[in-house]
Each structure stands twice: as structure tokens, then as C-alpha cells.
Structure 1
């Protein structure tokens, strides 16, 4: 294993059934198309010895831990609120599976760093490079990436065809913004062939 991969983590963000599968209230339309590429990115990360971090949302039935603007989706009268802890909708999509040695991080806001121990965990194991996949680009991807920039991670990459948004236009605009603050934007093929 190359030394640099020991200091790299792959973040897989919100690749959960309620966010990705069709006919779900929170579905990101670009989500289904990226499933094979996210699966491949995870495979390559494992081959390289890169730490895989599964960033997921899990919410309380009552919505006590959800953003105010989403609180109307939760409550005792709501049969299946999105990504309710323990629900089928909160599970990873088929083909993605947490394995021994991976790290699962539960978040309740857009950024994987907000109100979580992600930064301290990454520091503890010597991670200084992040590779980001998942959904969706203007929300959880963008907030996580910008916070990583603010925390001075020296290397941040977003795999452009293993991330998605509501529309291709929204995806492209957000990638443009992140590229402008020094974030790398390789395709999956480029990342797989890279040595950095």
C-alpha cells in the first residue's frame, strides 16, 4: 500500500434508500445513476487501504434532532418519516455495505463535521486527505467540503460522477464553486488512475 493512502479517507455521504431510491419523499433525482460509481469508489478505496467513512443521517421519530424546516415531516402521527433511525429508508442502498474497519458517522445536519466527532476521529488516525462521494452536491456535500476547507485539510477531492444533485446544472454549479476554493474534481476514472 502506498504511504499516502494511509492518510486518506473516502467519505460516502447519505447513500441511503430515502435519499437515493425513486419515489421517496427525499429522493435526489441524480442519485440512482451514481450508485455503480460509488460502489466502485468504495472497492478502490478498500484495495488501496483507504479508510471508508459512511456518513449517514438517522433521525428521531419526533424530529427533535432534525432541521426546523424539515420538522413537519416528523411526529407521532407520521408513519414513515425520512431516514428514521432503524427504518428501511435509513439503510444504505443495495451494493453498499459497512465492513469491519470502516467507520460509520451519524449526522443530523448538512455538514458531516457539524456537531459530530468526525474531525477528531480523522485527526486521531492521521487523515489529512479527503475524497468525497454521495448526495447531494449543494447541501451535504458542499457543507462538508467547505467545512473541511475551513479546517485546513490540505487535500480534498470530490469525485464528480460519484456525487449528484437534483439536476445536472445544480451539480455543475456547486462543483464550480468548490473548485474555486482549491477542491479537486476528478472523475471516477481519473481518481482510480491517479496516484494522489
Structure 2
């Protein structure tokens, strides 16, 4: 049986809440129940779930995103808290051995994190990627997953972006260039 894992990427207040520092707004909020549903499904089957959250330091002038985006997901702020139903589902399973929380400081959930090592230790061979932003962190994570030979599944109703054109482009790119299953 092919072991799979759910990745929930950057589904935080700063990226989803209407007052978030770098919010997707309504598109991000609309996928809340879908991601929570995936969390419950994976938890029911005791399959690994990884919550990967952007982590920035206040007034960090050396980070490459500093000139691209307003400050967001600052360590120690509520902007880094998970949003809505996803936060509730996370809380429900947070002490389970199959639930993992990792901070990340780059777009890809693999860059500078032990994600690949943790997946390999658990024998995981397929990744189901959810969260935001489709054309930034989801895209870069999917590219790295491809380069590491992980088959990838993307549910179009469990990813969103503040850029609808970029969102649609990324969905096509996942299927046509990365061989991902997009449904």
C-alpha cells in the first residue's frame, strides 16, 4: 500500500483572515472546510499530516521576501496561527503521533526543513498538498516534491491564492509539467 501524507501549507491568519497581512481573502476562506475535511480523513486513517507554516522575524531586512511582500507570519504574532476550521481540526489531533508541525522560512516546505527526512523515515511516497498560495508556496513545494520523486496530488478546492490568474496557471503547471494529479 502506497503511504501518503497530507501537507497543509501556510493556512494562517495572515494569509487567510480578512485582516491578514498578506491575505488571499475570500478565495482562501472558501477552502477552509475542504482542507479541514482532508485533515479529518487523514487523521481517521492515521496517515501523516504536516502543518508547514511560514515563520519570519520582525524587521528582518536580509530575508529575500522583505522587498517583495509586506511583513507577514511574524513569529510570536496571531498572524501565524492556523485559520478557522483548519485551526480547530489541527487542535483536535495535535497530540497524535502522526501530526507534525514545521516552521519554514522559504516558499518551498522542503527548503531548510527536515520534511524530506521525515517523509522518508515514515516510508511516505505520495503527497497531498493543500493550503496557500497556489502560485507561490504550493507551487515551489510541488516542484521540490517532483524533483525528489514524490507523486503529488492537488485538490483544486483545497488551494487558493490572492492572484486568480497565477492560481489557474499553477494548477495547469502541476498537471502538465510536474505530472501531478489535479482534481
TM-score by shorter chain over 0.5: yes
Q: Which interval holds the TM-score relative to the shorter structure? A: 0.7 to 0.9
Whether the aligned pair in 2 keeps the contact of 1:66 and 1:109 (CA below 8 Å) is no
Match of 2:75 in 1: 85
Alignment of 1:13 with 2:9, yes or no, is yes
Which residue of 2 is the match for residue 156 of structure 1? 152
Secondary structure of 1:36 counterpart: helix
Do structure 1's residue 177 and structure 2's residue 167 form an aligned pair?
Answer: no
**Structure 1 Cα separation of the partners of residues 124 and 22 of structure 2:** 31
Q: Pairwise mapping of residues 1-196 of structure 1 onto structure 2 (< 5 A)?
A: 3-4=1-2, 7-29=3-25, 30-63=27-60, 66-70=63-67, 73=70, 81-96=71-86, 97-98=90-91, 99-100=94-95, 101=97, 102-153=99-150, 155-180=151-176, 181-186=178-183
Question: Which has more radius of gyration?
Answer: 1
Q: Distance in 2 between matches of 1:65 and 1:156?
A: 32
CA contact (8 A) 1:63 1:71 kept: no
**Cα distance in 2, alignment partners of residues 72 and 52 from structure 1:** 28
Instruction: For residue 38 of structure 1, give the secondary structure of its aligned residue in structure 2.
Output: helix
TM-score, normalised on structure 1?
0.82
- Give the TM-score, by structure 2 length: 0.88
Other structure's SS at 2:136 match: helix
- Residues 65 and 44 of structure 1: is their aligned pair in 2 closer, same or farther, counting only changes over 3 Å? farther
Partner of 1:78: none
Residue 20 of structure 1 contacts residue 93 of structure 1 at CA under 8 Å; is this kept in 2? yes
127-136 vs 17-26, greater mean Cα deviation: 17-26
Whether the 8 Å CA contact 1:111–1:147 is kept in 2: the answer is yes
The count of aligned residue pairs is 174
Secondary structure at the aligned position of 2:31 is classed as helix
Q: Which runs of 5+ in 1 are unaligned?
A: 74-80, 187-196
Q: CA deviation at 1:65?
A: 6.6
Structure 2 CA distance for partners of 1:56 and 1:83, relative to 1, 3 Å: same
